[in-house]
Amino acid sequence: MARVAVVTGGTAGIGLATAHLFASRGWAVAVIARDAGRLRSTAAALAAYGRPVLTISADVSDAEAVDAAAARIEAELGQIRAWVNNAMSTVVSPADRITPAEYRRVTETTYLSQVYGTLAALRYMKPRNRGAILQVSSGLGFRAAALQAPYCAAKFAVSGFTDSLRCELIHDKSDVSLSVIYLPAVNTPQYKWTRNRTGRDQNAPDPVYDSRLCAEAIVFAAEHPRREVWVGRSTVMMAAAQALVPGFADKKAAEMWPKQMTDEDMADRVGNLDAPVPGDVGIDGRFGDRTKATRTAFWTSRERDLLMAGFAGIALVGLASAAAVARAPRRLLPRP
């Protein structure tokens, strides 16, 4: 029986690239998304790999719908081995021009959707003591940016929820793995359907990475569980700046405001916050001429831990040498 992977928001961009990669590696794939038309085309594309495919129309901000989807996947495809919480939405606008309803909706689709997906997966994985849950996050989940306050807050919340749950799984001696995948700016269709009231179209600041690189990192963490994965050097730099010099990081993030916008005027866009934008959009966005082609630019928490252990070892050797010098008997020189 094929391993079963579930991908939310799997009909476009990173989610679609991830669904393709799972299917190409022999996994049966279930995709949960809202738009029925894109689900049909996604099912046809994934079927070409010759593995079982199931597509389900559901809004991932609806906990009951997510539970029902999980039950259907278990019944029709088999035991869920990997669950990828990828669905998201955002509003691009100064924070004080975003309405309470919009804050609530972004929180539901970007944070609570990951909670609901995680809980649905755990109901099946935890009794079997097997499975991987992958939270798709962003560098903005530890270094917030201007113009995306609801999205940044939601991604911060994902990390807090996941870390808390991970402690509980460790306490329970569970073999279910939890991974957070932190992403950089990515060339996806999301930029053309985001709700936007800045008066300018949204831009992806350099460096821009390929959705397929993100998919490689996600599938790697499903098959080789890691606590965290950072995709792209910009994500690593954001994490380091926030940890070491947060005040400086604030100033650099403020300077990024104009780089997030194009020079072209644009009327306010409703986007896909409340309902999907119809039509097939594929994996790639409009920044193909600036997209880095690499498929290997991601680093895991295991590599970080080994690096830190190396630094700690060097520091300990230095301290031991200093202590030995301090303890050595001092020979007094004869008076001249």
Maximum Cα–Cα distance across the chain: 96
pLDDT for residue 333 is more than 70: no
Measured over the CA atoms of residue 172, residue 67, residue 9 and residue 1, the dihedral's sign is positive
> What pLDDT score was predicted for residue 296?
80
Q: What is the pLDDT of residues 52-84, one digit of tens each?
A: 999 999 999 999 999 999 999 999 999 999 999
What is the pLDDT at residue 178? 98
More confident residue, 310 or 124: 124
Distance CA 86, CA 18 (A): 10
**In this structure, is residue 215 part of a structural domain?**
yes
> Does the residue 336 lie in any domain?
no
Q: What angle do CA 238, 21, 174 make, to 5 degrees?
A: 70
Q: What is the mean pLDDT of residues 226-241?
A: 93
How many domains does the chain contain in total?
Answer: 1
Rounded Cα–Cα distance for residues 15 and 161 (Å) = 21
Find the radius of gyration of the CA atoms of the chain: 23
Asked whether residue 54 is domain-assigned, the answer is yes
Residue scoring higher pLDDT (264 or 105): 105
pLDDT of residue 330: 54
What is the rounded CA–CA span in Å between residue 13 and residue 230? 18
Mean local confidence (pLDDT), 85-104: 97
Indicate the average pLDDT of the chain.
Answer: 91
Which H or E element spans position 269? none
Q: Is the pTM of this model over 0.85?
A: yes
Provide the β-strand partners of residue 132: 82, 177
Interval 165-183 mean pLDDT: 98
Between 13-24 and 211-223, two packed helices, what is the crossing angle to 10 degrees?
A: 50
One DSSP character per residue, 92-159 reads: ES-GGGS-HHHHHHHIIIIIIHHHHHHHHHHHHHHHHT--EEEEEEEGGGTS--TT-HHHHHHHHHHH
| pLDDT at residue 124 tops 50 | yes
Q: What angle do CA 61, 64, 66 make, to 5 degrees?
A: 60
End-to-end CA, the chain = 89
Specify the pairing of strand 291-292 against strand 208-209: parallel
What pLDDT, in 10s, does the model give residues 291-324? 998 878 889 876 665 544 554 555 555 555 555 5
The strand order across the sheet containing 28-33 reads 53-57, 28-33, 4-8, 80-85, 132-138, 177-183, 228-231, 298-300
Distance, CA of 217 to CA of 169 (rounded, Å)? 23
Contact at 8 Å (CB) between 91 and 146?
no
What's residue 322's pLDDT?
Answer: 56
Is 209 among the residues known to form the active site?
Answer: no
Buried b (16+ CB within 10 A) or exposed e, 283-297: bbbebeeebbeeeeb
Residue 331 has pLDDT above 70, yes or no: no
* Within-domain flag for 20: yes
pLDDT value at residue 311:
43
According to DSSP, the residues that pair with 70 across neighbouring strands are none
8 Å CB contact between 235 and 181: no
Domain membership of residue 304 as a residue range: 4-327
Query: With 0-12 CB in 10 A as exposed, 13-18 as middle and 19+ as buried, what is 272?
Result: buried
Q: Are strands 195-196 and 228-231 parallel, antiparallel or unpaired?
A: unpaired
* SS3 category, 302: helix
Q: Any idea what the CATH number is for the domain that residue 266 is in?
A: 3.40.50.720
Does residue 334 lie within any of the structural domains? no
Q: Is the dihedral of CA 57, 60, 61, 65 positive or negative?
A: positive
- Determine the pLDDT at residue 309: 53
Bond from prior residue into 207 cis (ω within 30 degrees of 0): yes
pLDDT of residue 137: 98
Within a domain: 50: yes
Could you give phi then psi for residue 72, rounded to 5 degrees? -65, -40
Catalytic residue among 151, 182, 191, 209: 151
